[in-house]
Amino acid sequence: MKKTILIIAFYQLLQFAYAQNKDSIWVINNFTKIERQIPMRDGIRLFTSIYIPKDTSEKHPFLLTRTPYSCQPYGEDKFAPFWKSYKMNYLKEGYILVVQDVRGKWMSEGEFVDVRPFIANKKNNQETDEASDTYDTVDWLLKKIPDNNGKAGVYGVSYPGFYSTMAAASNHPAIFAVSPQAPVTNWFIGDDFHHNGAFFLMDGFSFYSPLDRGFGMPRPQPTMTGPKTAGYPVHDNYKFYLETGPLGNFAKLTGDSIIFWKDLYDHPNYDEWWKARDARNATKNLSPAILWVGGLFDAEDNWGTWNSYQSAEMNNPGKDFNKIVMGPWSHGQWEGNDAAHLGNICFGNNTAAWYQQNVEIPFFNFYLKDKGNISQIAEATIFVSGENSWRNFKQWPPAEKVDKSLFLLANGGLDWKKPVAKTSSTEYISDPAKPVPYAEGIHLIRTTEYMTDDQRFAERRTDVIAFKTEVLTEDLVVTGVVKANLFAAISTTDADFVVKVIDVFPDQFSYADTIYSDNSSKRRYPMGAYEMLVHGEIMRGRYRNSLEKPEPFVPNQIELVSFNIGDIAHTFKKGHRIMVQVQSSWFPLVDRNPQKFVNIYTASENDFQKARIHIYHDQKHPSHVILPVLKTLSSAESK
């Protein structure tokens, strides 16, 4: 039997290799690659790779991606492996694919600036930003590349998603369609490196550090090679980050040459420096059709997709095409060849392929090639996990949703009815020396699967408190922003609050089979009583009233800590339970709060202290989460 399986696997591998080789030969035979240094209005030149169809029988549109991660491979005889992904569809459609190193990165000239602020009213050619660089690039392409049809589209994921937002803001008349995907939007409120002011240490340090990716390391001259990094001395992120200690020690590890790391320390609060770097500043008066794309379980830039879309809606009333797609994906998973599951949670089919063929490709084809129609693309195309289906909505959040309060109760209860106790609270001790891990097991690099991980490991800790409903007697569909309202008293002057919304599966014995990407083996995970993280968020307590002006807590005084947990689209199925977990650390995903009102970036070991935390759930202090429950849904809005 094993021999038969091996033979089948071998022939499947041969077939895959043959298809890959056949497609790569087709690309090389039908496209010409050229590399150019495109001049910007201030004289700086940006390195650009351009893949041009040899077919001159028709005019071709441009599809541009601007990136700080390199447009490798360099050399006009070396082709990017488009044939390994759905990008091959664009080549078959005859697009001119363009990839550009942004200003100050890799082979482009100039100075790189992280999340370079958008300049709305430029006074001269020396005032440049990512929008003007996109404008100048497209202008050059139109004039210099023959057989183009005068239309350009722009797209990109993550940081290239930020550059796509800026491309939309350029308002070049030839840019007809833009798709910012998981766009970096605001690095203090909700994306990547901060959430509600809490520093996401592991992502920030791994991204910029000389130990890992070294993204922020200086590049004095254009180069084809990336920075040399040292590697971690300990391959256990919990141990490494805990033993390294306060943030001042991480500053020593990064050194003085990483500019943005120093900027993070110099701007601990949401000041004008941060506000200038909010990409939503560039969402006014937008001309192109815009398709915002993101993942429900994106650990990096989930906030950016939802909130950029909402900002563009608010700033462009009546705009013909400003739409959003959110699938059951980790960061950029929709670009892959398969997205049928994330970790232990299965979604029923290849959701990435469905999106690629039914949304993204038709979107660009319609606006750049006058091909097909986009009537099937709804205002909001949202995958609802739990029930595992795509739903179309006329707006987001849906007009039919009703905000319902789910109250925390004594003895771990969770109910739609307000608590009746006159005095009631649940207590836990938060100890910075033993922070709650964000995931079970030993890891070095932050996992993507933690966004749907089983939370039973956390419930077993004494510094995590859990509240859950009775077994649901009918499906509960939740679509929109979930909000936490906690009445808390702490023994110190600062603390963090993590609230997690969890889907508790029935106790019945079952397994999830996770098949590895090479199809070589699978991992079985027990799903009976599985506690699936649907969404979680943190609030740094000092910012409970203002991100701009932090305030200490008065020890042992009850205060309201209110914050958005974020947008979700999930059905809690009949027979399941809803759980809410509350804790005060999420390590090393988030840096440790000393639990003392000091500048955390300059705090010393002596500043870290235990905090006794009470979460109240009584008549006067009814802690609760607000769930946007979908009350009705017409047949036209579901498919």
Question: 338 pLDDT band (50/70/90 cuts)?
Answer: confident
Question: 513 pLDDT band (50/70/90 cuts)?
Answer: low
Q: What is the pLDDT of residue 634?
A: 44
On whether the CB atoms of residues 151 and 173 are closer than 8 A, the answer is: no
Q: What is the pLDDT of residue 633?
A: 44
pLDDT above 60: residue 2: no
Share of residues in the chain with pLDDT > 90 (%): 91
On whether the CB atoms of residues 67 and 102 are closer than 8 A, the answer is: yes
| Residue extents of the structural domains in the chain | 2-186+277-377, 401-637
CA distance 209 to 217: 8
CA distance 393 to 555: 46
CA distance 480 to 397: 5
Q: What is the pLDDT of residue 632?
A: 55
What number is the average pLDDT over the span 485-514? 92
What one-letter code names the amino acid at 130?
E
Q: What is the pLDDT of residue 516?
A: 47
CA distance 148 to 168: 20
Task: Give domain 401-637's CATH number out of 1.10.3720.10, 2.40.110.10, 2.60.120.260, 3.40.50.150.
Answer: 2.60.120.260
What number is the average pLDDT over the span 349-353? 95
Q: What is the pLDDT of residues 112-142, one digit of tens each?
A: 999 999 999 999 999 999 999 999 999 999 9
Q: What is the pLDDT of residues 101-120, one digit of tens each?
A: 999 999 999 999 999 999 99
Question: 525 pLDDT band (50/70/90 cuts)?
Answer: confident
DSSP E strands in 16-122: the ranges are 31-39, 45-53, 60-67, 96-101
Q: What is the pLDDT of residue 518?
A: 46
Q: Per CATH, is 2-186+277-377 categorized as 3.40.50.1820?
A: yes
pLDDT above 70: residue 41: yes
Find, among 541, 538, 547, 536, the residue nearest to 594 by Cα: 541
Q: What is the pLDDT of residue 19?
A: 54
Find, among 638, 187, 17, 211, the residue nearest to 384 by Cα: 638
pLDDT above 60: residue 521: no
